[in-house]
Amino acid sequence: MFEVVIGLEVHVQLNTKTKLFCSCPTSFNHKQNTNTCPTCLALPGALPVLNKEVLHKSVMFGTAVSATINQTSYFDRKSYFYPDSPSAYQITQLYTPVVEHGKLRIDFEDGTHKIIRINRAHIEADAGKNIHDGPISKVDLNRAGTPLLEIVSEPDMRSAEEVTLYLKKLHSIIRYLDIGDANMQEGSFRVDVNVSIRPKGDEKLYTRVEIKNINSFRFIQRAIELEVARQIEAWEDGVYARDICQETRLFDQVKQETRSMRGKEEAADYRYFPEPDLLKVVITDEMMREYSKIPELPDEKMARFVRDYEMNEYSASVLTSAVEMAHYFESMMEEGISAKNALAWLTTELQGRFKGEVNITNSPVEAKKLALLVKRIEDGTISGKAAKDVLDFLMEKGGDVDSAIDTLGLKQVSDTGAIEAICDAIINANQDKVIEYRSGKDKLFGFFVGQVMKESKGSANPATVNDILKAKLG
Ligand code: ADP
Ligand code: ZN
Ligand code: MG
């Protein structure tokens, strides 16, 4: 009877070397308040100068979501006082953002899809950080002035599932474009969730509540569930108008509730006005051509994998959702191995061996090495079973594939002379079985193969063993 309506604001920290309006480095693990200058400390008289790289990355994003790029955009001043913002205002883009009217496609498990409209993406400066240390609070301004791209969706999402799909796709695109780390835990991908409900069929939008401070996909799902339940209950109890107001709420993961943080400011409270210290932002046609060059995106890559490698959509999506995974796979494929083997050895064998902090970005076995291992199976040097031992060895001890095969003594014997000798020995030792086999007990063939494999300690090439035994047993 109710429909859930959700719109998201996502703050993406752009991975530029320097800050938005000054040349201070953006790196974080530095001593507090050392990455600062008169501009980001907001000392009187210091003037901001726009970092071109921020513009470049914003245009790349706009291009990736098929948006309109405003070749002329403006900065605005949003006034508010908070100790982590020494200027007492934030420079942002309210009236004419650099990116407008984009769209992002989400795909459901049942094969259907939906387009989520992006209202805008604008450039703004981040604040510093307040650090609360017992009775004392401190301010670290290293982050002040770091460039953010705030991506604002239309209220097009109707469930927590759609929200998760949208965020995962957005995250994936940022990583493919390499314009940000997009790390939720570290705060370089911050999500504000706006939630309202309405009777099904109703077209108008009802009061939205904004939930901030949620730093994992699981918590976002949970916060939505809790907030929707709270609004529905208020409606059913007849107290919706009294209890549900436009406000900012915090998600408390310990108490499992959302609670009021502050009333939502109206735009008027911020006294927005055009930023007098900056010129309008102009992107020339030449800059447009340069900035709108973007790499292949996850959807295109997935379609290409399905087409070129004859894999199903599920496998292709596993390989393409994270850019590091896609690059790893592509690097393996350059070695001329089969896609099917590359897929299995990457997703099942290699990933199955990841523990703790180890993942595709820091795997001790890199793509070329894993590809060579697969190649050694394909050219008959080792069996698939032996390759698993080789991979264990490489994960633990490192080194190269061929030496590992030698060290472990796993080279498959395809040398017919050696296998023939073993076959002869097995046949001689089992004359009774040979007679039975020749008189029609076909099933015994497996017994002979097994004995030969055992004698060779698994190193004989099974196809060669089969051929030789067939010839000898008749
Ligand atoms: P603010 O910065 O004041 O939160 P924005 O316009 O930047 O305002 O963001 C508003 C967000 O809230 C957008 O993502 C929009 O889609 C969403 N939104 C607006 N109205 C509703 C509503 N009634 N229900 C849910 N989401 C809404
Ligand atoms: Zn600075
Ligand atoms: Mg908001």
Of 189-193, 268-272, 408-412, give the range with the top mean pLDDT.
189-193
Same domain, 273 and 309: no
CATH of the domain at 424: 1.10.10.410
Convert the pLDDT of each residue in 95-105 to its tens digit.
999 999 999 99
Same domain, 72 and 130: yes
Same domain, 75 and 97: yes
**Least-confidence region, from 307-321, 322-336, 363-377, 457-471:** 457-471
Q: How far is CA 464 from the centre of its chain?
A: 45
Same domain, 392 and 421: no
Residue 413: pLDDT band by 50, 70, 90 thresholds?
confident
Model confidence, pTM: 0.86
Look at residue 221 in the predicted model and tell me its pLDDT: 94
Residue 262 has pLDDT above 80, yes or no: no
Task: Give the span between the Cα atoms of 300 and 294, in whole angstroms.
Answer: 12
Same domain, 255 and 362: no
Task: Give the span between the Cα atoms of 399 and 264, in whole angstroms.
Answer: 58
> Which of 91, 97, 103 shows the shortest CA–CA distance to 63?
103
Residue 265 has pLDDT above 70, yes or no: no
Look at residue 28 in the predicted model and tell me its pLDDT: 76
CA 333 / ligand 2 centre spacing (Å): 44
Residues 6+ apart with CB under 8 A from 186: none
Look at residue 197 in the predicted model and tell me its pLDDT: 97
Same domain, 180 and 78: yes
CA 214 / ligand 3 centre spacing (Å): 13
Amino acid at 235: W
Convert the pLDDT of each residue in 50-70 to its tens digit.
999 999 999 999 999 999 999
Look at residue 267 in the predicted model and tell me its pLDDT: 60
Structural domain range at position 437:
416-473
Task: Give the span between the Cα atoms of 418 and 286, in whole angstroms.
Answer: 69
Residues 6+ apart with CB under 8 A from 69: 59, 62, 63, 98, 99, 283, 288, 292
Q: Which of 291, 308, 327 is at the close of a domain?
A: 291
Residue 416: pLDDT band by 50, 70, 90 thresholds?
confident
- Residue 123 CB less than 6 A away from ligand 1: no
432: exposed, middle or buried (C-beta count within 10 Å: 0-12, 13-18, 19+)? exposed
pLDDT (average), residues 195-213: 94
Convert the pLDDT of each residue in 422-452 to its tens digit.
899 999 999 999 999 988 888 889 999 899 8
Look at residue 266 in the predicted model and tell me its pLDDT: 64
Residue 397 has pLDDT above 90, yes or no: yes
Same domain, 34 and 178: yes
Residue nearest to atom 6 of ligand 1 (CA): 152
Convert the pLDDT of each residue in 328-362 to its tens digit.
999 999 999 999 999 999 999 999 999 999 999 99
257, 210 contact by CB (below 8 A) = no
Task: Give the span between the Cα atoms of 7 and 260, in whole angstroms.
Answer: 19
pLDDT (average), residues 59-83: 96
Residue 201: pLDDT band by 50, 70, 90 thresholds?
very high
CA 272 / ligand 2 centre spacing (Å): 23
Tally of domains in the chain = 3
Residues 6+ apart with CB under 8 A from 436: 444
Q: What angle do CA 423, 426, 427 make, to 5 degrees?
A: 85
- Residue 194 CB less than 6 A away from ligand 1: yes
Q: What is the 3-state secondary structure (H, E, C) of 396-412?
A: HHCCCHHHHHHHHCCCC
Same domain, 266 and 158: yes
Convert the pLDDT of each residue in 229-256 to its tens digit.
999 999 999 999 999 999 999 898 888 8
Q: Which of 239, 266, 291 is at the close of a domain?
A: 291
Same domain, 224 and 243: yes
- Of all ligands present, the nearest one to the C-alpha of 24 is 2
Residue 23 has pLDDT above 70, yes or no: yes
- Residue 205 CB less than 6 A away from ligand 1: yes
Same domain, 395 and 448: no
Mean pLDDT of the chain: 93
Residue 264 has pLDDT above 80, yes or no: no
Look at residue 167 in the predicted model and tell me its pLDDT: 97
- Residue 92 CB less than 6 A away from ligand 1: no
Same domain, 145 and 241: yes
Residue 421 has pLDDT above 90, yes or no: no
Same domain, 196 and 334: no
- Residue 94 CB less than 6 A away from ligand 1: no
Residue 376 burial (CB count, 10 A): 22
Q: Which of 223, 256, 291 is at the close of a domain?
A: 291
Residue 458: pLDDT band by 50, 70, 90 thresholds?
confident
- Residue 227 CB less than 6 A away from ligand 1: no
